């Protein structure tokens, strides 16, 4: 399968099978994330894999309750990955101030997408989650107060036959222009 095929078939999975994920597959996903580019090679991420069932249940109950219950489907995933934003290196912070850009968010986004695409190639489903109780996640996973958990990823096997609907995306001509902004989306 080509990379474009993998991208075309990837979906945000919300219904997981009751089947554990092999540690070897998770390590391949982590390797893909580790190799992601980052501003000034800062690599401002840590990935915490929560696959112990008791710990995952505690984490999910705290992370996806109350106002966050819209993402409670993630409780059924065999594992949850917490993507922790680490402190950026000096040059990245300076560049970010000058450009008014949070490069660490771009960096963890790229690394997370590498993880997700590798998971898809391995037959795993994922769902990128941004709506969760960060404070509770940090407490349960003993993450320092000066770090952020911007992303959780639900990971597991799923029934591909129930999901394979086409992505709804804008047509190419609406999002693309060559050599200047003029004409984009017209």
CATH number at residue 110: 3.40.109.10
Q: Check pLDDT > 90 for residue 160.
A: no
Look at residue 109 and tell me if it is in a domain.
yes
- Residue 107, domain extent: 16-125+136-143
The answer to whether residue 112 is domain-embedded is yes
In a domain, 104, yes or no: yes
Phi, then psi, of 36 in degrees rounded to 5: -65, 145
Q: How many structural domains are present in the chain?
A: 1
Q: How confident is the model at residue 99, as a pLDDT? A: 61
Per the CB < 8 A criterion, the answer to whether 16 and 77 are in contact is yes
Domain for residue 1, yes or no?
Answer: no
Backbone Cα Rg of the chain: 18
pLDDT of residue 30: 98
The reply to whether 10 falls in a domain is no
Confidence band for 172, pLDDT divided at 50, 70 and 90: confident
Q: Is 23 inside a domain boundary?
A: yes
Q: Which residue is associated with the tokens 């036959």?
A: 161
The answer to pTM > 0.75 is: yes
- Helix, strand or coil for residue 186? coil
The reply to whether 51 falls in a domain is yes
- Identify the weakest region by mean pLDDT among 55-64, 72-81, 163-172: 163-172
pLDDT(71) > 60? yes
Residue at 153 is within a domain? no
pLDDT at 41: 87
Closest Cα partner for 38 from 83, 71, 77? 83
pLDDT-based confidence at residue 97 (cuts at 50, 70, 90): low
Query: What pLDDT does residue 177 have?
Result: 84
Task: Pick the more confident residue, 26 or 41.
Answer: 26
What's the pLDDT score for residue 92?
A: 60
């Amino acid at each position: 399968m080509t990379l474009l095929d993998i991208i075309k078939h990837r979906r945000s999975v919300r219904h997981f099978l009751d089947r554990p994920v092999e540690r070897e597959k998770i390590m391949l996903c982590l390797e893909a994330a580790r190799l992601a580019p980052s501003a000034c090679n800062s690599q401002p991420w840590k990935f915490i894999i929560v696959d112990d069932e008791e710990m995952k249940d505690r984490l999910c109950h705290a992370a996806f309750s109350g106002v966050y219950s819209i993402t409670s489907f993630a409780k059924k995933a065999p594992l949850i990955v917490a993507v922790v934003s680490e402190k950026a290196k000096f040059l990245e912070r300076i560049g970010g101030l000058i450009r008014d850009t949070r490069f660490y968010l771009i960096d963890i986004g790229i690394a997370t997408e590498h993880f997700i695409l590798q998971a898809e190639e391995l037959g795993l489903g994922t769902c990128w989650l941004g709506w969760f109780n960060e404070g509770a996640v940090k407490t349960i996973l003993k993450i320092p107060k000066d770090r952020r958990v911007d992303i959780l990823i639900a990971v597991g096997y799923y029934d591909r036959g129930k999901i394979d609907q086409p992505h709804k995306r804008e047509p190419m001509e609406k999002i693309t222009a060559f050599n200047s902004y003029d004409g984009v989306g017209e």
